[in-house]
């Protein structure tokens, strides 16, 4: 029964994947980001500050 349920679950995930739009809202082009979006590209890491002993 578990096997059957697992296979039904798996089938439902495949169906959900197939229904996904080809392109979602994550396009990084500026004009495709919604007005409310706070999405920002990551900044390069800041090099750590050296701490000198007193």
Partner 1 sequence: MLTQVFSVANQKGGTGKTTLSMNLAAGLSQRGRTLIIDADPQGSAGQWAGLSSDERPFPVSVISISSNLGREVSRMRQDYQYLVIDCPPTLETGVAQSAMSVSDKIFVPVLPSPVDLWASVRLADAIEQIKIYNTKLKAYILVNQLEPRNAMSKGMAQALAEFDIPALQSGLRRRAVYRSSALEGMSVYCMGKRGQSAAQEMELLIEEILAS
Cβ contacts of 41 within 8 Å, gap of 6 or more? 28
Instruction: State the binding string over 1-40 for partner 1 (x if CB under 8 A, else -).
Output: xxx-xxxxxx-xxx-xx--x---xxx-x----xx-xxxxx
Nearer to partner 1, 43 or 53 (CB): 43
Confirm if 7 and 13 have CB atoms less than 8 A apart.
no
Q: For residues 48 and 53, which CB has a smaller minimum distance to partner 1 in the complex? A: 48
For residues 16 and 19, give the distance between their C-alpha atoms in angstroms, rounded to a whole number. 5
- Distance (Å, rounded) from C-alpha 29 to C-alpha 48? 32
- Which residues contribute to the site for partner 1 (CB under 8 A)? 1-3, 5-10, 12-14, 16-17, 20, 24-26, 28, 33-34, 36-46, 48-49
């Amino acid at each position: 029964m578990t096997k059957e349920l697992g296979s039904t679950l798996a089938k439902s995930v495949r169906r959900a994947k197939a229904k996904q739009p080809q392109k979602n809202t994550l396009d990084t082009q500026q004009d495709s980001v919604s007005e409310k979006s706070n999405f920002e590209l990551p900044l390069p890491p800041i090099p750590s500050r050296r701490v000198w002993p007193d």
